[in-house]
Amino acid sequence: MSIHYNNYVNLLFTGIIALFPVVNPIGSAFIVSPYFADLDRSGKRNAVKKITFYAFCICTVSLFAGHWILELFGLSVPVVQLAGGIMICKMGWEFLTSDDKGPDQKSRGQQPGTTDGYLSIEDRLFYPITFPVTTGAGTISVLFTLSAHSSSANYSDYLVNASAILLAIIVMCVLVYVFYLNTKTLINYLGSKGEAIVNRITSFLVFCVGLQIAISGIRSIIKA
């Protein structure tokens, strides 16, 4: 019993440690914060709940059926990395070339704290906010690895191992919810100029992260 418990705890912490840098709830919260510029507290809470739910679904599907889905479409992880990197680069470039009002206020001129503000980003909650920013190709790759690590010939052992990784996914989703919901509080301490600086630096980092992911995908494809 103690062996199973130790394996469960070990796999749980392995999952959390492996997922934290690729999900990066703190950094991702700064990246997506411009999308929430139009929202009041209630609207932001609803948006973050949906993002967290979508992230949980993507992670769970990747854990249990990711390999089958890629095989069904004839795709490989490096190709997903390349495509995801290109999408993130595009989003980072749009942030860099937009004004300080944020991506949605710029295009629609909505006032912060309105119901229309939530409706204006509702179709963006899955793409690009959840995928590929919150849970992208890196997250899928890690979950593939964890899935292989948890596999066992014994079905009951597999269920125990899979439940440990699933709990790690839930922990990451809770962190995403907390940081996404409260990032604005930290930014407000910086003032309007500080917020503009953070947004510009974050936009540049988004572009760099996307470029790095795309290059990693290209390298993997060349090596293959």
Report pLDDT for 68. 80
HSE of 154 in the Cβ direction (CA atoms, 13 Å)? 5
Closest CA to 40 of 95, 121, 143: 121
pTM of the model: 0.75
Give me the pLDDT at residue 116, please: 62
Rg (the chain; Cα; Å): 19
pLDDT (mean) for 116-124: 82
Question: Is residue 196 a contact partner of residue 50, using CB atoms and an 8 Å limit?
Answer: no
Question: Hey, what amino acid is at 195?
Answer: E
Tell me the residue range of the domain where 134 lies: 2-223
Average pLDDT, the chain: 81
Scan for tokens 């997506």, then name that residue: 32
For the cut 50, the answer to whether the pLDDT of residue 108 exceeds it is no
CA distance to 24, 188, 199, per residue, from 27 (Å): 6, 16, 12
**pLDDT for position 106:** 44
- Any idea what the Cα angle at residue 26 is, between residues 172 and 9, rounded to 5°? 30
Preceding amide of 21 cis, omega within 30: no
pLDDT tens-digit series, residues 18-27: 898 888 898 8
- Please state, in angstroms and rounded to a whole number, the distance separating the CA atoms of residues 210 and 110: 28
Higher-pLDDT residue of 146 and 198 is 146
Q: How far is CA 135 from CA 39, 132, 141, in A?
A: 22, 6, 10
> Which range among 18-22, 37-41, 207-211 shows the weakest confidence by mean pLDDT?
207-211
> Torsions phi, psi of 110, nearest 5?
-75, 150
Residue scoring higher pLDDT (162 or 103) = 162
Domain count, the chain: 1
pLDDT at 152 over 70: no
Report the alpha-carbon distance of residue 150 to residue 163 in Å, rounded: 10
In terms of C-beta density within 10 A (0-12 exposed, 13-18 middle, 19 or more buried), how is residue 40 classed?
Answer: middle
The pLDDT of residue 184 is 77
Q: Spell out the residues 6+ positions from residue 149 whose beta carbon is closer than 8 angstroms to its own.
A: 11, 14, 161
Most confident of 107-116, 185-194, 214-223: 214-223
